[in-house]
Structure 1
Amino acid sequence: MKTRPKVLFFDVNETLLDLKPLKKEVKYVLNGQDHLLSLWFTTLLQYSLVVSASGQYKSFGQIGAAALQMVAANNDITITEENARHIVVNALQDLPPHSEVKNALNTLKNEGFTLVALTNSNDESLKTKIKNAGLAQYFDDLLSIESVGKFKPFTEVYNWASNKMNVKPEDCMLIAAHGWDVAGALWADWRAAFISRPGQQQFPLAPETEINENDLQKVVDILVTYK
């Protein structure tokens, strides 16, 4: 029988919150081209790592807007910086939770788990999106990488989060729908559970997560059996 993690850390975007409204907005400004939508998100992740690796910090929303301008420009679409930020930042702050999320979090809360959000979004955006999604009552703390100045999956982020909650890395579990995120957590000596949302895969070169299910409720059903 596996032991319960002392703290469950949750990625927010796509793991808890449905990105469909954001994707709809981005797809519209990219002239409805689906392949550009996925390219935009990949570019966003790439340049968040570039910023962190260079010892710089810009908010996730700022990088998302810049990535949108880059992808648009490469496809002869003009988007101003102001419009790009308006689209990305506003949409990121008003995302609905996936259908099973509220019941799943409520179960964990009633079972006595400590729940913490850990996101690449800045502090203000994190608080706003959790409140707008109606999830604030489930969390014991909301942690933004803004305090570290580096994005996940840099090891410093996971180390900072475990120290912030006063627990050892091995007592932490990340629950996320991104292969790069659970890989970073595992390499930082955390435990991890992967939610295989559509289009998401684990990184084959990373250690395997101990839980791999296609929605949060199924992850919770396993966690509540831990002692």
Structure 2
Amino acid sequence: MPITTCIFDAYGTLFDVAAAAREAAAEPGREIFAEHWPRVAQDWRLKQLQYTWLRAVADAHTDFWEVTQNGLDWALEASGLEGDPELRERLLQLYWELSAYPEVPQMLADLKAQGMNTAILSNGSPSMLNGAVDSAGIGALLDDVLSVEDVGIFKPAASVYELVLKRFNCAPDNVLFVSSNGWDAACATGFGFTTAWVNRAGEPIDRLPWTPQIVLTDLTGIPEETNR
């Protein structure tokens, strides 16, 4: 069946999750943080993801904003920076204003020109996602922003992917699902979506029962892939 609907993970896929730490590190007076920001950004993202998985299997759901704060607190303490509350607040503020990757607006515009449905499907809470979409100025290029808060469990639970089918009244093989998380793309393959993994860092494929069907280094080629 033809692809009619292109669905994107948000954080790390459309929005650069390292941007908050990188931008804070460039601000005047943050010379100490500038020495640590790459590790903080990496730890922050890793713990954020780990906490979503742990909460899902432990049936202890909370919204993504709390998970994001928890991950940052761990990352700051791991780098010996937990004693700077102003830095913490600044990083959290910047997370609401994450930069989109440079190819995102044109890529989405090309999809809309092809007549594709376009949407975000994310662990993010609705307010966080709306803030990022507004900051990036891409709202007019998206038909919807879907959040796991509608089902109360994080990815890769099947009920999250089902939100796409309900919203767009389509079959799984009408969907191209795009994520920068290899595990997310793999599990979406298992659900029945056609999947693309945006592997910007050149990481190995996760050892899971399924694999992404398409592997790209950025989002530029996504409009082409909808014609498979």
| TM category, shorter | 0.7 to 0.9
CA contact (8 A) 1:64 1:88 kept: no
SS of structure 2 residue aligned to 1:215 = coil
Gaps of 5+ in 1: none
Q: Between the two proteins, what is the percent identity of the paired residues? A: 23
The structural deviation recorded for 1:56 is 2.3
CA contact (8 A) 2:123 2:155 kept: yes
CA distance in 2, matches of 1:151, 1:201: 23
- Report the residue type matching 2:20 in the other structure: L
TM-score (norm 2): 0.85
Answer yes or no: is 1:125 the counterpart of 2:123.
no
2:75 to 71, 83, 88: 71
CA contact (8 A) 2:172 2:192 kept: yes
The structural deviation recorded for 1:150 is 1.1
Gaps of 5+ in 2: none
Task: Give a deviation string over 1:72-130, Cα, whole Å, max 9, x none.
Answer: 3344432478964x345422221222111111111110100111111111011111211
Aligned length: 222
Taking only aligned residues, the RMSD between alpha carbons, in angstroms, comes to: 2.4
1:174 to 167, 172, 177: 177
The structural deviation recorded for 1:154 is 1.7
CA distance in 2, matches of 1:222, 1:213: 10
Deviates more, 1:111-120 or 1:187-196: 187-196
Deviates more, 1:86-95 or 1:97-106: 86-95
Answer yes or no: is 1:41 the counterpart of 2:39.
no
With over 3 angstroms needed to count, the CA separation of the structure-2 counterparts of 1:104 and 1:201, relative to structure 1, is farther
Aligned to 2:4: 6
CA contact (8 A) 2:187 2:210 kept: no
Deviates more, 1:48-57 or 1:69-78: 69-78
Task: Give a deviation string over 1:23-71, Cα, whole Å, max 9, x none.
Answer: 3267668673233432222111111111222222222221121122223
TM-score (norm 1): 0.85
2:146 to 138, 143, 150: 143
CA distance in 1, matches of 2:217, 2:177: 15
CA contact (8 A) 1:212 1:219 kept: no
CA distance in 2, matches of 1:81, 1:48: 24
CA contact (8 A) 1:192 1:209 kept: yes
Answer yes or no: is 1:187 the counterpart of 2:190.
yes
1:50 to 48, 54, 57: 54
Describe how 1:42-121 pairs up with structure 2 within 5 A.
Answer: 42-79=46-83, 84=88, 86-121=89-124
CA contact (8 A) 2:6 2:175 kept: yes
Answer yes or no: is 1:19 the counterpart of 2:17.
yes
